[in-house]
């Protein structure tokens, strides 16, 4: 290979890379930005929808559960939890657990410092995503303040976020696959365009050389 041909090849590669680099950076930027944003938006929407459902069910649960405590309320909470597919807890104003669906309420510690309980006592409703030390899972908690005369209690429903996490993970995989396909398509299109541009540049260079050699322009 002659020195001129080698120089031309390196020049061609450099020009192609200069043309493709901005496209690649833009596509990778879209991949790194869009996937987390869309996944977070979808997760937030699913959690909000789930919370609305749990708040509605908490109100219905409050109408169903007896105003009692101990074994009677534990049994009622367990039956309701089986019907709704959620964890059910009833908490007194001072944080004492009056009824619980997963284990005897007498074994549970005071819930006065739980953020969703504090919010429900203050505003009527509260919700929080956090790890449960009782069932050892990440749950969405929704708490609703129920009153009967001077009596006040909190009806709290909780649901594992495993389904939401699985949906978001599946969506993230689809987004990554789609964006990677877009990157490949974009690079292929950019490569085709760069080659066309190179051919035009070569024609211009050849034309300029002919002019420099004294050839008349057509």
- Name the more confident of 218 and 185: 185
- pLDDT for the residue numbered 20: 66
The pLDDT of residue 91 is 98
pLDDT digit string (tens) for 51-91? 999 999 999 999 999 999 999 999 999 999 999 999 999 99
pLDDT above 90: residue 208: no
Q: What pLDDT sits at residue 18?
A: 67
Q: How does strand 151-160 pair with strand 87-92?
A: antiparallel
3-state secondary structure of 84: helix
Give residue 74's pLDDT: 97
Distance of CA 41 to the CA centre of its chain: 6
Mean pLDDT of 176-184: 75
DSSP state of 141: E
% pLDDT > 70, the chain: 74
Q: In this predicted model, which residue has the larger pLDDT, 189 or 64? A: 64
Task: Copy the structure tokens of residue 149.
Answer: 């005369």
- The CATH homologous superfamily to which domain 45-164 belongs is PAS domain (3.30.450.20)
- The strand ranges marked E within the chain are 87-92, 97-100, 125-132, 137-148, 151-160
What is the structure's pLDDT at 26?
74
Radius of gyration of the chain (CA): 33
d(CA 96, CA 107): 11
For residues 31 and 183, is the Cβ–Cβ distance under 8 A?
yes
Burial code of 53-77, b = ≥16 C-beta within 10 A, e = fewer?
A: ebbebbeebbeebeeebeeebbebb
Cβ within 8 Å of residue 89, ≥6 positions away: 77, 97, 99, 100, 101, 105, 111, 155, 156, 157, 158
Opening angle at CA 59, ends 55 and 60, nearest 5: 115
Provide the pLDDT for residue 34. Answer: 75
Label residue 13 by pLDDT band (50, 70, 90): low
DSSP assignment, residue 106? G
- Taking only the tens place, the pLDDT of each residue in 132-143 is 777 777 899 999
Domain boundaries, the chain: 9-40+166-212, 45-164
């Amino acid at each position: 290979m002659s020195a001129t041909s080698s120089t031309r090849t390196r020049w061609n590669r450099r020009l192609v890379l200069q043309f493709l680099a901005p496209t690649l950076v833009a596509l990778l930027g879209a991949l790194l930005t869009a996937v987390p944003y869309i996944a977070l938006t979808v997760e937030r929407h699913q959690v909000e929808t789930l919370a609305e459902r749990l708040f509605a069910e908490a109100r219905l649960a409050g109408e169903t559960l007896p105003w009692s405590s101990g074994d009677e309320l534990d049994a009622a909470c367990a039956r309701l939890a089986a019907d709704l597919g959620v964890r059910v807890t009833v908490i007194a104003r001072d944080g004492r657990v009056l009824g619980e669906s997963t284990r005897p309420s007498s074994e549970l510690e005071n819930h006065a410092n739980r953020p969703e309980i504090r919010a429900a006592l203050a505003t009527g409703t509260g919700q929080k995503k956090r790890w449960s030390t009782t069932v050892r899972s990440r749950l969405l908690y929704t708490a609703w303040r129920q009153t009967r005369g001077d009596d006040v209690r909190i009806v709290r429903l909780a649901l594992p976020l495993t389904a939401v996490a699985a949906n978001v993970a599946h969506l993230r995989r689809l987004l990554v696959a789609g964006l990677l396909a877009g990157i490949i398509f974009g690079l292929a299109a950019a490569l085709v365009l760069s080659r066309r541009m190179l051919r035009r540049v070569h024609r211009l260079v050849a034309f300029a050389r002919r002019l420099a050699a004294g050839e008349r322009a057509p």
